[in-house]
Chain A
Amino acid sequence: MRPGASPLSLKVTLMLQTLPRRAVVALLALSVFFPIGLVLYQSILSGPFFMPSTTLSLESFAFIFDDPDFWQALKNTLAVAIGMSLIAIPLGAILAFIMVRTDLPGRRWLEVPIMIPIFVSPVVLGFGYVVSLGPVGFFSVWFESLFGSVPWNIYSLTAIIIIAGLTHVPHVYLYSSSALRNLGSDVEEAARLSGASPFRVARDVSIPMVSPALLYVGVLVFFLGFEIFGLPLILGDPEGHLVLTTYLYKLTNKLGTPSYHLMAAVATCIIAVTFPLVLLQRALLKSAQRFVSMKGKSARQRPLALGIWKWLALALILGWLFVTVVTPVAGIALRSVVSSWGQGINLLEVLTLDHFHAVFEEQTMIRSIINSILIGTLGGALAVGGYLAIGLATHRQPDGLSRFVDYIVLTPRAVPGLMAGLAVFWVFLFVPFLAPLRSTLFSVWFAYAVVWLAYGMRLIQSALMQVGPELEEAGRLVGASRARVSRDITVPLIRNGLLGAWLLIFMIFEREYSTGVYLLSPGTEVIGAQIVSLWASGAVDVVAALSLINMALVGIGLAIALRFGVKLHD
């Protein structure tokens, strides 16, 4: 177009140029709001929304509010959310302080193991605890033979809270360690010279100074407490401890008929709590970042000498790693190669590879493994591609549309995977032209991509932010359109970031279990959902083998990521 052309043709050109951007945003909004809208709509109907006799009604809420199980589940959920915050936050903060600010020997080697609980599927972890610390678990049996009895009960609500707390320590560690990295060491040295021991320094100076980050992570952990599903599903079942997510899951069988309206009502109740929490997190994160940036970068960091305290610090970390990582993982590894286990059984007599044979003989199991690999590799790449498209649509364009996208991206964060999977299931069940895709892997991929939207967008956006604005402006000046600049300059420059995002999404997709639960059907099996379904049928042997395979897949992703120097967090 020549400069000085008429304003009308200019506007037409402008509209054509922004068309892909609008299309991306429209598709995104539809993908997010339609399933969630369907859940909200379903919750105020008297029956499943596809039944002709269904009317608008609040009877679903009346039903669940009348159900004592619902109130018990709510009470348990609150106990879990509060209890695990009380455990995870102090432990995570101390762990971060030790790892970031002290001269603890072997810090570099501990960095990766600390992150493992984030990448292991909670349902796998829960299973690992059952086979290690359950009534006939390896560790329990061994302990009993030494001391005569076992003082713990893995199926109690207290145990669930403690395990949930311990497995969420890495989340706290992530955010508080990055805040601590931004803190100058002079303030700590001053406290040390005034006579404070290293742990007093942590308690009185360092940790209070990162309190905005801790407040943020406190809300995050409390919020995750509302979402947890795998642990209470496996550990809470024997004694009937329900939380809201497992209550929702059990509703399926409660009435016999599809009780969609009741499930939607429970889901709506959960969203009513989680959505405000997500908004609160967003506000807190902004203020925490402001707090950190005020500190500036000039402050040098020198590790605090722990002296004799280092053995206590090391014992604390190794103890936590033993309970949180070694115990369940070793339990699963062992359980997958023994035929049975209990009091007085000789390990060498029961060693077997039968469980793996069983897995590889059954068509559904093989399919679930292949599907899991496909969804992690191909699906992960597609998801990163989609996130990239959204990222580029809003990159350095601070306008209303970009702010709108910000909020769309945030929304699925408030919907636990189990419910997101359910919503997507409904969408694929009842939108006529989508129905044929329901029993394909596409439906699972779509649900995964929506559930992990916020996480993926954070990866993409932090990569995009690394590109100097003047590199893109230089492209515009020499005659490249926005789209051309994205293709020729921005995207090639963030290649490494995209590779890292793909690897992280791969691990997250392998780990995912709850989102696939309602989408499980012949052809769409993935390992995580398969474990949930097999657990209900009591097939412990196969669950053990599948769990090990699942951890191996995540482990391969982790090894490649570390090989390429991908940062596991930002």
Chain B
Amino acid sequence: MTDKTILTVDNLALSYGSNPILKGVSMQLRRGEVVSLLGPSGSGKTTLLRAVAGLEQPHHGSVAIAGRAIYDAAAGIDIPAEKRELGLVFQSYALWPHKTVFDNVAYPLKLRKIAQNEIVQRVHAALKNLGLDHLAERYPHQLSGGQQQRVSIARALVYNPPVILLDEPLSNLDAKMREEARAWLRNLIVEMQLSALVVTHDQSEAMAMSDRILLLNGGVIEQQGTPTEMYGQPQTFFVADFMGSNNIMTGRIGDIRGGEARIDLDNGISVWGLRRTNAAIGHEARAVARVEQLQLTDGPGDNRAEIELATSMFLGDRFEYVFHAGKDLLRAWGKRHEDAGKRWLEFPRDSVWIF
């Protein structure tokens, strides 16, 4: 454990009755780092966050903040939530409706028996920092969704917790606000040098906001790494499929040459790609290629196939081409409108993963 590690989760397991939710999860969060817990619903990401917060009861493993155990099944340590000194921003914001914005943010300081004048000063500083100082006397129901979110963040930060936990922080905002809020939140976290653990189910949100991503699947960590690693070098089919928009095709391994393999697809196309499976020649496999990597070309060449372009769709900033290849619908992006008909499509060798 290095000095830089602020949060350590080691082999944490948790069940609801006989139903295992977390099956031994280990992770670390370094000081000043933003880590996203990403995964489909039911993958255990929110449960992991809540277990760190002390709101769920694991039965195995340990959690430590700055080297001090806050949960350790073996040693019988389980610090109650209120003594863990963590900040949590709830998905629903969980602002107390009977308290004003000021009182919501002041409550953690009041619990810490801080002098009244210092409370006033610190709450106003926190609200000012988040652009809320003019709303101090309002009640939560008088605020917009975005303002409520900021109050909720102010409340979680006002007592300077070593780690801030955010549970789907953007999911209650409408689509247009979400992108702005994403940039604002990332900027805030970097500026204030916070160590943050963020739960999200949206892969682009995770990539935009975090330094590292942990992708959970069925209660275990499928893969972790920087956003570029997660997107560009998926180690499993699940990761490749979950990140980005993909063309997925099934077939059989036709040839193997070192790190590359040729897959003979059920739709009749044969392509070379990066081999990510131990399956031998003749065995079933799947090819995954990102939509933005497929290229419309003028004629035949390496890893190209002539297939039927069915239609072009205008998406505003680009066109999406829809191809028919056997039973598969393949998608690619381009700058111009293209008429339907036979076209050559390139599958760049280093952009096709074979699982």
Contact = CB atoms under 8 A, between A and B. Distances in A.
B54 interface: yes
Nearest to A481: B82
Nearest to A476: B81
Contact of B94 (A3, A10, A474, A479): A474
B83 to A, nearest CB: 6
Contact of A481 (B70, B76, B78, B80): B80
A82 B81 CA distance: 54
B98 A477 contact: no
A3 B84 contact: yes
A492 B82 CA distance: 20
Interface in A448-484: 468, 470-471, 473-481, 484
Interface stretch (B104-112, B198-206, B229-237, B289-297): B104-112
A3 B79 contact: yes
B35 interface: no
**Interface core residue of B70, B96, B156 (most chain A CB under 10 Å):** B96
B79 A492 contact: no
A478 B80 contact: no
B264 to A, nearest CB: 48
**Interface core residue of B86, B94, B98, B111 (most chain A CB under 10 Å):** B94
Contacts of A10: 76-79
A3 B53 CA distance: 13
A7 B77 contact: yes
B98 A493 contact: yes
A17 to B, nearest CB: 8
A484 B80 CA distance: 13
Where chain A touches its partner, the secondary structure class is helix
Contact of B77 (A4, A471, A476): A4
B119 to A, nearest CB: 13
Contacts of B84: 3, 477
Given A3-B69, A473-B94, A478 B108 contact: yes
A183 B54 CA distance: 40
A477 B81 contact: yes
A466 to B, nearest CB: 11
A470 B94 contact: yes
A477 B82 contact: yes
A116 interface: no
B124 interface: no
B69 A471 contact: no
A237 interface: no
B250 interface: no
Contacts of B86: 477
A305 B68 CA distance: 69
B75 interface: yes
A10 B71 CA distance: 12
A477 B69 contact: no
B96 A471 contact: yes
Contact of A474 (B68, B75, B77, B88): B88
B220 interface: no
Interface string A1-35: 10110010010001000000000000000000000
Contact size range, B = 35 or more
Contacts of A492: 98
Interface residues of A, number: 23
Given A4-B68, A484-B111, A489-B96, A477 B88 contact: yes
Contacts of B80: 14, 476, 481
A406 interface: no
Interface string B128-170: 0000000000000000000000000001100100000000000
Given A4-B69, A484-B111, A476 B82 contact: yes
Contacts of B75: 7
Nearest to A489: B96
A445 B49 CA distance: 48
A479 B159 contact: yes
Contacts of A474: 88, 90, 94-96, 155
Contacts of A186: none
B55 interface: yes
B79 A477 contact: no
Contacts of B65: 3
B85 A479 contact: yes
B97 interface: yes
B58 interface: no
B148 to A, nearest CB: 12
A204 interface: no
B54 A476 contact: yes
A267 B166 CA distance: 59
A477 B84 CA distance: 8
A488 B103 CA distance: 11
A470 B79 CA distance: 19
Interface in A331-357: none
B303 interface: no
Nearest to B65: A3
B111 A468 contact: no
A492 to B, nearest CB: 5
Nearest to A471: B94
A475 B155 CA distance: 10
Contacts of B28: none
Contacts of A493: 96-98
A478 B69 contact: no
B89 to A, nearest CB: 9
B92 interface: yes
Contacts of B107: 475, 478, 480, 488
A66 B307 CA distance: 99
B87 interface: yes
Contact of A468 (B70, B79, B87, B92): B92
B76 A7 contact: yes
A493 B98 CA distance: 7
Interface string A216-247: 00000000000000000000000000000000
Interface in A475-534: 475-481, 484, 488-489, 492-493
A35 B156 CA distance: 50
Contacts of B88: 473-474, 477
A478 B159 contact: yes
Nearest to A17: B80
B251 to A, nearest CB: 43
Nearest to A470: B94
A470 B49 CA distance: 14
Contacts of A477: 53-55, 81-82, 84, 86-88, 156
Given A4-B69, A470-B94, A480 B111 contact: yes
Contacts of A484: 82, 111
A326 B189 CA distance: 70
15 contacts: A3-B79, A4-B68, A4-B70, A7-B75, A7-B76, A10-B79, A470-B91, A470-B92, A471-B94, A475-B82, A476-B54, A476-B82, A478-B87, A479-B82, A479-B108
Given A473-B81, A474-B94, A481-B80, 8 more contacts: A3-B79, A468-B94, A473-B53, A477-B53, A477-B82, A477-B87, A478-B82, A479-B83
Pairs A-B, 8 closest by C-beta atoms: A478-B108, A474-B94, A470-B94, A476-B81, A4-B68, A477-B88, A479-B111, A7-B76
